[in-house]
């Protein structure tokens, strides 16, 4: 159990902080890490001068927060609970399915128990202090969760809560029962008349423990095992235990009837106690004192309880067996006051007290500071919220508009998981259920995830696309594209531009490719250009490149007449970028130099001539686009044009 | 539990600023020694120095990364009255197979006549845009018209604030409330008087196509050393953290019915005097929910907005003495002369720092 602290102080030791003048500056980096470095501050005028401490080291410290949930053994808790969470949310939205809060609460607890078990198996000799701590933390968590379940989720007819509380105590404090079974299973003592107390020094501890859990059957079995079990005092004690009336809602007894029976039973037992029947064995006498609900047995009970929860329930068995839920608060406060000598409450204590008080809001808020990084507060608040146990808008203030605490916890927990390199996908699940603001978080956090491996990027892109976060997709693709470009991998960059449907970036890369082609006469990444996909529709530059590639292919395959009509189409649509126009016009020679065939009619020829004139004019106006080699080619194009046109006319003249 | 990793920055003088890239995997540092250094984190989490160059002829005050969509780009500002844009170039890999990286100066912004005290890239939705402020109180906006060409950085606007400026911050503007104007807050560390406002809000006016000072925040009258807008995660208001004689969080709430004038109300959302003295730096975490403030008391304090209110969730204290290796609270293992790795705090003890 831990004390509630407002905040915590961490001391950062480093020789760089050698005197008071050295300040520490802190920054956030990545998702949730802090970096601190030493520096000095003085008036602006003194800045320029060297501080003269060149000999000292200037260390930079990176602080990383590691928590229980990030431990490989505890990770199953995170993953499995996110599955249950997801299932619960979908069930709530589906009107055909009933949302049984108790069912889900037990599911969550089962995951907790499984996790504790897994830790145990990994740490059999209990030598790993870390795992011992984790186990304790998770165990306490299960205890408090179970209490919450017993008090708020289990429907108790008539509100007589004791039996449920007993179930709760029995599960979490099983030491006495384990000890008892050990004793009972050992038959030798029974048969050999050996003194069972000597063989099992914890014999009476077990008896007391069971009495305090109201487990009278087992107490009787233990008493049977005692060497004096046939003496009058033991026989009487077992008789009393056997006749103890037990209350059951379905037993048919009204509460008043039961109470009078219980009182009658207790007073008859008390008569026997007062007669001194049990004095022959002091321990047995103490047991009977407790059973009779004697006021001076309080200290006795306290001695045998390891926590005040046990203490509270043990007292109730023999003083107020039909206590109603709403009366628990007073008893709880009394118990905790009696149990502790000093009025000093621990975190767990105040959590349990809030539950007994019926103050779920306060409970949930305190649970938030439980050192499980918000696992419990998130899931429990969400569960209580969904089954209408807490108001969705408790304790709202202006500062956190449009978020209720349930959502606030989901946001915090989701963000926390997103900061882990492999748990981020679980984090997305929680942010998905946070209305509009969750989408804002997702959009920033998804794009901040490190994009180290391609598999990881595919996953991130998949998540972003499914949530229609197209800005995230295009941002990640652009970043990757720029990184490829930095390494001069234009083809790779183009792939990213295509993936991100980034036509501006694609245009830039297309320009690079075309300029490269004008220089070298070859495209650098033919495999990618063969599979351009939809980018040719969205990006003008690639519409041109696509057509141009087709043209080259046709020409290469000697399908010149098809190539020629495509060529004219390209010229007519005017989609060729300025700097490439001359280069494109140079390709006319493929067709004109072929003397065997006519590919163009006069209209085509005039278009070619017109484009040629335009291109030359442009290049005269704007020196930037001029390629001297191409300009030199102009005359040969013109010459071919003229020849060709003459031939055309010549052909007509012949007709 | 907190794991701490210490590296020797290898600067020969005071470090003034440390900046992390968008993913927190690259770190740039700058110092009085006029050098800028870039560090990269490897898969094991170690930081390795990958570049170091003399960037200016005076103390380098601030260093900042552009959004990686624009490539690997840094901006620095210095006492030498200039700001500079740097781009990382990857050359051919050498024999060892590692890529050769170096940073080239793409632009030198020389318009200031005094020390340039801060430099910040604008939100990526505005393109490749940069703001600087200088000791003579001029805020300048530079913009690369072609984001793929880092050599061209024409000066677009100048706003004279008439107060020595120490810091500036862009409003990240992710609000879905309406298309707001670009906004920059500039702080002044003028300590000649303590009555005038030290925080100025500048906005871009779409109609006049000019930047202008539109508001002075009267409630901040002490010298301001650092300011930062919180990342906006879909909130309908903006949070501005101010480092002055205390930590101040200002809340800018848009007025829905404003037709003219300054369309926001400015109120103090929180004020923390726990540093008991000057606060030098403030920094928001990625979601804008936890603020880290660095004060003259040598502490870094963490403030979180919870369902209730703002409260301190952690304090980092400096300690000049190295703990003994046998100490229970901190186990340090010297890996080599440059790096040191140690664990702070007990595992899952209640004193676990909850800075999430």
Q: What is the pLDDT of residues A503-524, one digit of tens each?
A: 999 999 999 999 888 888 888 8
Query: How close B38 comes to chain A (CA, Å)?
Result: 13
Phi and psi at residue A406, to the nearest 5°: -55, -50
Across the interface, of B29, B59, B293, the residue whose CB is closest to A48 is B59
Q: Which chain B residue's Cα is nearest to A437? A: B234
Q: Do B68 and A445 touch (CB under 8 A)?
A: no
List CB contacts (< 8 A) between A373 and chain B: 354, 356
Read off the pLDDT of each residue in A50-66 and give the average, rounded to a whole number.
72
Predicted confidence band at B342 (pLDDT cuts at 50, 70, 90)? low
Whether chain B has a CB inside 8 Å of the CB on A575: the answer is no
Residue A350 lies in a domain: no
Instruction: Tell me, yes or no, whether A61 and A201 share the same domain.
Output: no
Read off the pLDDT of each residue in A143-148 and give the average, rounded to a whole number.
93
Q: Are A129 and A119 in contact (CB under 8 A)?
A: no
Whether chain B has a CB inside 8 Å of the CB on A368: the answer is yes
Please choose, from the candidates A342, A313, A346, A165, the residue with its C-alpha nearest in 3D space to the C-alpha of residue A302.
A313
Whether chain B has a CB inside 8 Å of the CB on A393: the answer is no
Q: Do A34 and B300 touch (CB under 8 A)?
A: yes
Instruction: Tell me, yes or no, whether A167 and A32 share the same domain.
Output: no
Instruction: Tell me, yes or no, whether A180 and A297 share the same domain.
Output: yes
Read off the pLDDT of each residue in B160-185 and give the average, rounded to a whole number.
82
Both structure tokens of A8: 């915590």
Instruction: Tell me, yes or no, whether A60 and A187 share the same domain.
Output: no
Instruction: Tell me, yes or no, whether A60 and A176 share the same domain.
Output: no
Q: Which of A323, A339, A373 is the last residue of a domain?
A: A323
Instruction: Tell me, yes or no, whether A61 and A182 share the same domain.
Output: no
Per-residue model confidence as pLDDT tens digits over A463-498: 999 999 999 999 999 999 999 999 889 999 999 999
The conformational region for residue B100 under phi > 0 = left, psi -120 to 50 = alpha, else beta, is: beta
Per-residue model confidence as pLDDT tens digits over A214-239: 888 889 988 888 888 888 889 999 99
List CB contacts (< 8 A) between A53 and chain B: 13-14
Across the interface, of B9, B124, B322, the residue whose CB is closest to A58 is B9
Across the interface, of A36, A416, A441, the residue whose CB is closest to B356 is A416
Read off the pLDDT of each residue in B295-312 and give the average, rounded to a whole number.
82
Q: Is the pLDDT of residue B97 over 70?
A: no
Q: Do A451 and B344 touch (CB under 8 A)?
A: no
Residues 41-80 of B with CB under 8 A from A: 43, 45, 47, 58-59, 68-72, 79
Distance (Å, rounded) from C-alpha A589 to C-alpha A641?
A: 9
Distances (CA, A) of B250 to A11, B191, B214: 30, 21, 16
Whether chain B has a CB inside 8 Å of the CB on A422: the answer is no
Domain that holds residue A211: 160-323
Q: Do A478 and B69 touch (CB under 8 A)?
A: yes
Residues 480-499 of A with CB under 8 A from B: 482-483, 485-488
Across the interface, of A19, A51, A68, the residue whose CB is closest to B32 is A51
- Whole-number pLDDT of residue B314: 83
Q: Is the pLDDT of residue A265 over 90?
A: yes
Predicted confidence band at A654 (pLDDT cuts at 50, 70, 90)? very low
- Whole-number pLDDT of residue B294: 94
Instruction: Tell me, yes or no, whether A195 and A311 share the same domain.
Output: yes
Q: Which of A284, A299, A323 is the last residue of a domain?
A: A323
Q: Is the pLDDT of residue A82 over 60?
A: yes
Helix (H) / strand (E) containing B166: strand B165-170
Residue A395 lies in a domain: no
Burial of A343 (0-12, 13-18, 19+ CB in 10 A): exposed
Across the interface, of A4, A8, A399, the residue whose CB is closest to B305 is A399
Count of residues in chain B: 356
Site from B58, B101, B285, B312 to mutate, A interface, most A CB atoms within 10 angstroms: B285
Average pLDDT score over chain A:
84
Q: Is the pLDDT of residue A342 over 90?
A: no
Predicted confidence band at B354 (pLDDT cuts at 50, 70, 90)? very low
Per-residue model confidence as pLDDT tens digits over A85-137: 999 998 888 777 767 889 999 999 999 999 999 998 988 888 888 888 888 88
- DSSP per position, A570-638: HHHHT-S-GGGHHHHHHTHHHHHT-SS-----HHHHHHHHHHHHHHHHHHHH-GGG--HHHHHHHHHHH
* Strands of the B83-93 sheet, one edge to the other: B60-65, B73-78, B83-93, B99-109
Whether chain B has a CB inside 8 Å of the CB on A401: the answer is yes
Whether chain B has a CB inside 8 Å of the CB on A374: the answer is yes
pTM of the full structure: 0.85
> Does residue B263 sit in helix, strand or coil?
coil
A-B contacts at Cβ under 8 angstroms:
321
Predicted confidence band at A595 (pLDDT cuts at 50, 70, 90)? low
Predicted confidence band at B133 (pLDDT cuts at 50, 70, 90)? very high
- Whole-number pLDDT of residue A544: 92
Whether chain A has a CB inside 8 Å of the CB on B22: the answer is yes
List CB contacts (< 8 A) between A48 and chain B: 58-59, 79
Instruction: Tell me, yes or no, whether A313 and A204 share the same domain.
Output: yes
Q: Any idea which residue has 């779409």 for tokens?
A: B206
Residues 312-331 of B with CB under 8 A from A: 312-323, 330
Both structure tokens of B169: 């911050």
Read off the pLDDT of each residue in A380-394 and give the average, rounded to a whole number.
76
Residue A139 lies in a domain: no
Whether chain A has a CB inside 8 Å of the CB on B179: the answer is no
List CB contacts (< 8 A) between B269 and chain A: 399
Across the interface, of B47, B233, B354, the residue whose CB is closest to A440 is B233
Read off the pLDDT of each residue in A629-640 and give the average, rounded to a whole number.
73
Please choose, from the candidates A519, A479, A490, the residue with its C-alpha nearest in 3D space to the C-alpha of residue A628.
A519
- 3-state SS, A365-433, equals HHHCCCCCCCHHHHHHHHHHHHCCCCCCCCCCCHHHCCCCHHHHHHHHHHHHHHCCCCCHHHHHHHHCC
Whether chain B has a CB inside 8 Å of the CB on A50: the answer is yes
- Whole-number pLDDT of residue A396: 43
Note the maximum CA span of chain A: 146
Residue A29 lies in a domain: yes
CA angle B264, B269, B273 (to 5 degrees): 135
Read off the pLDDT of each residue in A360-366 and give the average, rounded to a whole number.
85
Residue A117 lies in a domain: no
Instruction: Tell me, yes or no, whether A164 and A35 share the same domain.
Output: no
Q: Which chain B residue's Cα is nearest to A4? A: B350
Q: Which chain A residue's Cα is nearest to B149? A: A508
Distances (CA, A) of A202 to A177, A188, A207, A280: 12, 17, 9, 20
- Whole-number pLDDT of residue A653: 43
Instruction: Tell me, yes or no, whether A176 and A37 share the same domain.
Output: no
Instruction: Tell me, yes or no, whether A179 and A316 share the same domain.
Output: yes
Average pLDDT score over chain B:
84
Q: Which of A307, A323, A339 is the last residue of a domain?
A: A323
Both structure tokens of B353: 């720092």
Residue A363 lies in a domain: no
The percent of residues above 70 in pLDDT, for chain A, comes to 89
Q: Do A36 and B281 touch (CB under 8 A)?
A: no
Instruction: Tell me, yes or no, whether A173 and A307 share the same domain.
Output: yes
> Does residue A25 sit in helix, strand or coil?
strand
Q: Which chain B residue's Cα is nearest to A476? A: B69
- Whole-number pLDDT of residue B325: 41
List CB contacts (< 8 A) between B317 and chain A: 9-12
Q: Which chain A residue's Cα is nearest to B236? A: A401
Complex ipTM: 0.89
Residue A266 lies in a domain: yes
Q: Is the pLDDT of residue A438 over 90?
A: no
Number of domains composing chain A: 3
Across the interface, of B11, B24, B317, the residue whose CB is closest to A58 is B11
Q: Do A8 and B351 touch (CB under 8 A)?
A: yes
List CB contacts (< 8 A) between B232 and chain A: 440
What CA dihedral angle connects A592, A593, A594 and A600, to 10 degrees?
0
Q: Is the pLDDT of residue A54 over 60?
A: no
Residue A276 lies in a domain: yes
Predicted confidence band at B152 (pLDDT cuts at 50, 70, 90)? very high
Q: Do B317 and A50 touch (CB under 8 A)?
A: no
């Amino acid at each position: 159990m831990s004390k509630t602290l407002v905040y915590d102080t961490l001391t950062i030791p480093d020789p760089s902080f050698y005197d008071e003048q050295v300040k520490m500056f802190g920054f956030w980096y990545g998702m949730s890490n802090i970096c601190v470095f030493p520096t000095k501050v003085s008036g602006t005028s003194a800045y320029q001068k060297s501080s003269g401490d060149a000999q000292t080291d200037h260390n930079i410290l990176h602080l990383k927060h590691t928590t229980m949930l990030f431990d490989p053994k505890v990770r199953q808790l995170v993953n499995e609970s996110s599955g249950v969470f997801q299932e619960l949310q979908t069930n709530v939205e589906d009107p055909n399915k009933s949302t049984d809060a108790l069912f889900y609460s037990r599911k969550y607890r089962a995951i907790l128990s499984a996790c504790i078990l897994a830790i145990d198996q990994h740490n059999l000799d209990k030598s790993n202090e870390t795992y011992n701590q984790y186990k304790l933390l998770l165990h306490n968590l299960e205890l408090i969760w179970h209490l919450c379940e017993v008090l708020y989720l289990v429907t108790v007819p008539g509100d007589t809560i004791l039996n449920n509380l007993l179930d709760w105590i029995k599960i979490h404090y099983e030491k006495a029962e384990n000890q008892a079974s050990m004793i009972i299973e050992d038959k030798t003592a029974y048969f050999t008349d050996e003194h069972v107390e000597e063989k099992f020094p914890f014999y009476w501890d077990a008896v007391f423990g069971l009495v305090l859990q109201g487990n009278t059957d087992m107490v009787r079995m233990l008493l049977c095992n005692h060497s004096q079990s046939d003496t009058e005092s033991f026989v009487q004690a077992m008789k009393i235990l056997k006749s103890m009336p037990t209350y059951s809602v379905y037993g048919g007894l009204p509460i008043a009837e039961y109470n009078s029976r219980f009182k009658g039973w207790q007073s008859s037992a008390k008569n026997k106690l007062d007669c001194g029947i049990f004095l022959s064995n002091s321990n047995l006498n103490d047991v009977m004192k407790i059973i009779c609900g004697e006021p001076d047995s309080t200290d006795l009970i306290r001695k045998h309880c390891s926590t005040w929860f046990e203490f509270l329930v043990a007292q109730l068995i023999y003083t107020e067996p039909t206590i109603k839920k709403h009366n628990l608060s007073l008893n709880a406060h009394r118990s905790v006051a009696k149990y502790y000598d000093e009025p000093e409450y621990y975190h767990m204590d105040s959590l349990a007290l809030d539950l007994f008080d019926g103050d779920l809001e306060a409970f949930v808020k305190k649970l938030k500071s439980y050192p499980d990084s918000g696992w419990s507060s998130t899931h429990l608040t969400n569960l209580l919220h969904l089954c209408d146990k807490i108001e969705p808008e408790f304790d709202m203030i202006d500062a956190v508009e449009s978020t209720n605490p349930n959502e606030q916890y989901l946001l915090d927990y989701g963000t926390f998981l997103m900061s882990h390199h492999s748990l981020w996908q679980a984090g997305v699940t929680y942010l998905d259920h946070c209305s509009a603001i969750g989408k804002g978080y997702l959009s920033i956090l998804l794009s901040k995830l490190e994009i180290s491996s391609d598999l990881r990027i595919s996953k991130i892109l998949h998540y972003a696309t499914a949530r229609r976060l197209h800005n995230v997709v295009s941002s990640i693709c652009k970043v990757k594209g720029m990184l490829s470009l930095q390494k001069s991998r234009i083809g790779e960059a183009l792939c990213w531009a295509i993936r991100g449907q980034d036509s501006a970036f694609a245009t830039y890369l297309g320009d690079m490719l075309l300029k490269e082609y004008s220089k070298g006469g070859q495209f650098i990444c033919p495999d990618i250009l063969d599979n351009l996909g939809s980018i040719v529709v969205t990006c003008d530059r690639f519409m041109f490149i696509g057509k141009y590639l087709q043209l080259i292919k046709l020409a290469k395959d000697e399908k010149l007449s098809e190539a020629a009509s495509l060529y004219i189409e390209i010229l007519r649509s005017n989609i060729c970028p300025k700097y490439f126009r001359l280069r494109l016009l140079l390709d006319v020679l493929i067709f004109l130099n072929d003397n065997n065939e006519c590919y163009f009619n006069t209209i085509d020829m005039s278009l070619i001539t017109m484009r040629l004139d335009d291109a030359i004019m442009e290049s005269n106006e704007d020196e930037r686009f001029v390629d001297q080699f191409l300009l030199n080619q102009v005359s040969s194009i013109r010459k071919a044009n003229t020849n060709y046109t003459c031939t055309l006319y010549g052909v007509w003249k012949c007709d | 539990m907190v794991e701490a990793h210490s590296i020797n920055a290898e600067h020969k003088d005071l470090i003034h600023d440390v900046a992390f890239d968008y993913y927190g995997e690259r770190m740039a540092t700058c110092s009085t020694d006029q050098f800028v250094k870039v560090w990269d984190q490897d898969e094991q989490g170690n930081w390795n120095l990958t570049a170091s160059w003399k960037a200016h002829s005076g103390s380098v005050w601030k260093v900042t990364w552009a959004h990686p969509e624009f490539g690997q780009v840094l901006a620095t500002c210095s006492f030498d009255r200039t700001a500079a844009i740097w781009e990382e170039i990857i050359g051919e890999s050498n024999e060892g197979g590692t890529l050769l990286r170096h940073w080239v100066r793409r632009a030198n912004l020389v318009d200031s006549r005094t020390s340039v005290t801060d430099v910040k890239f604008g939100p990526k939705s505005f393109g490749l845009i940069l703001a600087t402020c200088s000791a003579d109180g001029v805020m300048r906006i530079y913009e690369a018209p072609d984001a793929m060409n880092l050599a061209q950085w024409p000066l677009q606007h100048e706003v004279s604030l008439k107060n020595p400026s120490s810091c500036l911050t862009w409003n990240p503007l992710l609000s879905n409330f309406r298309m707001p104007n670009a906004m920059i807050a500039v702080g002044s560390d003028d300590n000649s008087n303590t009555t005038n406002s030290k925080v100025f809000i500048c906005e871009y006016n779409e109609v006049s196509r000019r930047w202008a000072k539109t508001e002075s925040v009267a409630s901040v009258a002490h010298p301001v050393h650092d300011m930062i807008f919180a990342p906006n995660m879909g909130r309908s208001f903006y949070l501005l953290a101010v480092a002055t004689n205390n930590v101040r969080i200002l809340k800018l709430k848009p007025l829905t019915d404003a037709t003219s004038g300054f369309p926001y109300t400015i109120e103090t959302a929180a004020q923390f005097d726990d540093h008991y003295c000057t606060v030098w730096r403030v920094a928001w975490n990625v979601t804008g929910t936890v603020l880290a403030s660095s004060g003259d008391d040598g502490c870094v304090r963490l403030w979180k907005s919870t369902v209730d209110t703002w409260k301190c969730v952690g304090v980092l204290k400096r300690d000049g003495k190295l703990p003994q290796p046998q100490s229970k609270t901190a186990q340090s293992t010297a890996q080599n002369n440059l790096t040191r790795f140690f664990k702070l705090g007990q595992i899952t003890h209640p004193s676990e720092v909850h800075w999430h």
